[in-house]
Structure 1
Amino acid sequence: MHSPDNVPVRIKRLPGNDDLPLPGYATEGAAGMDVVAAEEVDLSPGARHAVATGLAMAIPHGFEVQVRPRSGLALKHGVTVANAPGTIDSDYRGELKVILVNLGTASFAIRRGDRVAQLVLAPVTRASWLEADELDATVRGEGGFGSTGGLSSLPG
């Protein structure tokens, strides 16, 4: 068993990507590792693309890697991870690709080596279903979307 702050993850650079950095933490307190693009893409407004990273990995059983947006890209350009957070399962061995979408109004150029997302290694808890005829009562009950309140300017 490894310490929660040091879990070894095997990573492989795919052919032609030796010049790219491995994912890395920008600061000591960073939760996510920046990952870079291995290709060049011009992302038109509204367009999506699975951006290659040139990496494959062997995530330890019991963990996943979450692919999350970079806040600067989202705020400044409207570029984000389409399925945020994306999940890379521990049994996947193919190339890591980041599904980016341009929600902005201008085309966005992605160049080889640009930081396009961040990766977070996270433990996975698996569920086992326990089928029941009845569920315990709560104050919320069956109240769905918006049932717990929201913005005061919106009708209840």
Structure 2
Amino acid sequence: MLQKRSWLLAVLLCTLLAACAPTAPSAPATGEEGTDAATGEPQTGGYILAATIEDPDSLDPHKTIMATASTIQSWIYDTLFYIGEDGLPKGLLAESWTVSEDSKTLTIVLREGRTFHDGTPVDAAAVEFTFNRMLDPATASPAKDQAGPLESVTALDEKTVVFEFS
């Protein structure tokens, strides 16, 4: 009799636990407003909440090479290139680029329509300023070492910037 009660108690507990378990949300009906995030126009504003295991030492990309800072910077700043899933560089701010035969000159044509947070266009002069700031000894940028043999950056026109390497 005691075994039968123990078995019934176990079944009752399992039933109660199953009844208290959360259920999967039901699929929204087709056509319900606001149910399909993949369609519709992007919205501006709002918040992104992200957590890191440590605070960055700086959000200035020329003042740090700390991994946490680099991760957060990637959420804030666009780059000329990114590495695609195939392991090859893809243009982000760069629309096209050519490398000289001696591999000492990289010429980049920038995409049109890219802007800073305040609406100022991202142009070749801004790219020149950014890289020359990193190269300036007064900046004392640890990122300079990651630029390898980069010697100079020059804006040719509004969309074209030239990188010279040693």
> Larger % of strand: which?
1
Structures share fold, TM-score greater than 0.5? no
User: Which structure has the highest helix share of the two?
Assistant: 2
**TM-score, length of structure 2 as denominator length:** 0.26
Q: Per chain length, whose mean CA-contact separation is higher, i.e. which structure has more relative contact order (CA < 8 Å, sep 6+)? A: 1
Larger radius of gyration: 2
TM-score normalised by the chain length of structure 1:
0.27
